[in-house]
Structure 1
Amino acid sequence: MADKSLNKTELVAQVAAASGQTQSAVNEVLDALFATLAESVGNDVKVTIPGWLAVERTSRAARAGRNPQTGEAIQIAAGHSVKISAGSKLKAAAK
């Protein structure tokens, strides 16, 4: 894993500096992006940014499990999750 991380505030500051926009404008754009991603995934719409990433909703079937504390068998309900796939440009940047 990487020893360094970049939080949202730092990301906003770097994008604002690189684009010449204000931090508040960049923050509004990121908030709108995240809201659009959440709404799209919630409506089962796949979002693809070619070369960079794809975000989609996945389904998980119901399954049997065990309570780790008691060992009792339990039924885990079906549910949904999110799958994020890296595109070719993002994969190349990681090399």
Structure 2
Amino acid sequence: MATKPMTKTQLVAALAEEAGTDKKGAAAALDGIIAIITREVSGGGAVTLPGVGKIYCRERPARMVRNPATGEQISKDADKVVKMTIAKALKDSVNG
């Protein structure tokens, strides 16, 4: 099955190697990308990462949910959830 997820340190090292730069520059670039995605999605927008997918925020309406411990039906307020749609190119590379 799958191995452990790549850590941020491992991602920075791989990014530095791929870009031919130092780890400090790669870490700054990664932090910048994360900040941009967070700011855009928090504001209700969406970010498309070419070849990876689209990250966006979706609103969920108010609804009735069940407490699994007691079975009691309770009302849950409307909220927002971050979603990601995976790009077809990435799906095809994983499956084929």
| TM-based fold match above 0.5 | yes
Structure 2 match to 1:34? 34
Structure 1 match to 2:74? 74
Distance between the aligned counterparts of 2:8 and 2:51, measured in 1?
Answer: 22
Q: How many residues align?
A: 95
Q: Structure 1 runs of 4+ off > 6 angstroms?
A: none
Change over 3 Å in CA distance of 1:7–1:67 after alignment to 2? same
Structure 1 match to 2:12? 12
Distance between the aligned counterparts of 1:72 and 1:91, measured in 2?
Answer: 39
- Return the letter of the residue paired with 2:73: A
Question: What is the TM-score with the length of structure 1 in the denominator?
Answer: 0.88
Question: What is the TM-score with the length of structure 2 in the denominator?
Answer: 0.87
Identity level (%) = 35
In structure 2, the gaps of 5 or more residues are none
Deviation at 1:51, TM superposition (A): 3.0
Deviates more, 1:30-39 or 1:47-56: 47-56
- Return the letter of the residue paired with 1:25: G
